[in-house]
Structure 1
């Protein structure tokens, strides 16, 4: 691929023209750069290493790199990550592969139900690892949750919006759901009814790309994980439980669950929402703030509640709670 074509593809300015006018391989790791490669570098140290490795051309956004790029072809861009994926999207055409943007919850359920992952590549959050996977894996289907990444790969890419036929059969509780997807009914699954549409999307995705899947092992996720302090209720008692701590990595689920818990049948549940300092929670006038895991553990022990919602992305917190309270 010529330097001129690359510059046009990634919207770069050629700040120096070296010996190389064409490259045949691209990398985002200076340490892996080989002679005449196109190398994307993040800073001065990576630029130095790329030059030492014999890079044919260097793409950079950090202007401090320019001092060591006088003897190689250099291309300046506004955003290194966007430039890298613009190139990847050009090199890997629509005929070569499909790219899908999923929401975080759709991705969680996709990973949960997939039975075979050999026909799909899940793009990691680390953009350099994702770039390498796209360029070198030979896969024909890629799925990721990074919107900027997917939109650089494919213009106007939107979140996957298809859903398998299905509906909630029974949702007498936040913690157990009976639902139907396609022709099958799944009874009393350990899953909040708030997530049924995300699961339906994951199923539709698998069916669209002929990926084998199973819903049988669907269970609680990091998005909504209840911890029953007084023992997990039976199916008959699942509608009501005296003390439940619910860990969630998003406020959307907390607000919807809190609204539902405000009036379960004739039983008024007392709810408390714990969040990090300065976190604004719509509709919650006085949330309880925590600064550490110890604050959360103390709140679980001393506050009066039926449902205690904790907004956190720390997946290790559940283990501390289980250990402290013998769950």
Structure 2
């Protein structure tokens, strides 16, 4: 019997388990069956375990993305063939399994030079980063961006995407032990979480930055707005401030939302800046064409080596607790992968 990684209930690491499951259903028209070789973990998977996801609630199968080989195709599928290597996006979860059946539009054919690990590493992080930096953020050459969590999956991707623009200055927050890594990746001014990042940024760029990628929520959201130059933007990517450890803290959740001040239209007008939010799952549901367009674009940039996903570590399904701890405790640099 195939196996999958499940979240049994809202709670701590003990709720992460590997269990046998029925084989994935054969593909119907417009679907493909994929034998999974590697799965990407995301901070979103922590939200799921702690009951903070608006889309997926336990009990459920974990995972937004994976890579594998196509085992069968349904009728009317012409762009994918049996034997193809594919990256898979599961916006409703369920990717961390030995087999998955998905719509063909949720699978992207990979060249075989791309490893399974890298095939499972780029979809969520790089699409989130690209849309946030280039579409919502509107970053232009000569601009500056502050990336919170520059060593994480999205932060790592956003750094590479921003540095493709000539003359862009990248500020990145990360723990001191990660500074050498994020500098190699392209961060110009690394800032330790323990420092006052507002004063550090303004000391280098007194007018502020063009863009802040804010995944923290809470009081940091107000600071992000203060750091914007005229015509700058804050793009909110998540709410990591709500997660402080293994277990969900309702007090921390409420405090994070309470300290995230409402956006004032008057303030936006008087300061000439914008605030936006990004959710990849919603974008894919409502505008799948642009999702696929950028998905293909990112893959092309990886093939040409203009972008390069970094694999932090690779774990077995049975090591899901240790893999999840690495993300929850923010010890990873780049992508955490689990494999059947």
Same fold (TM over 0.5): no
Which structure dedicates a bigger proportion of its chain to strand? 2
In the superposition, the TM-score normalised over structure 1's length comes to 0.32
Larger radius of gyration between Structure 1 and Structure 2: 1
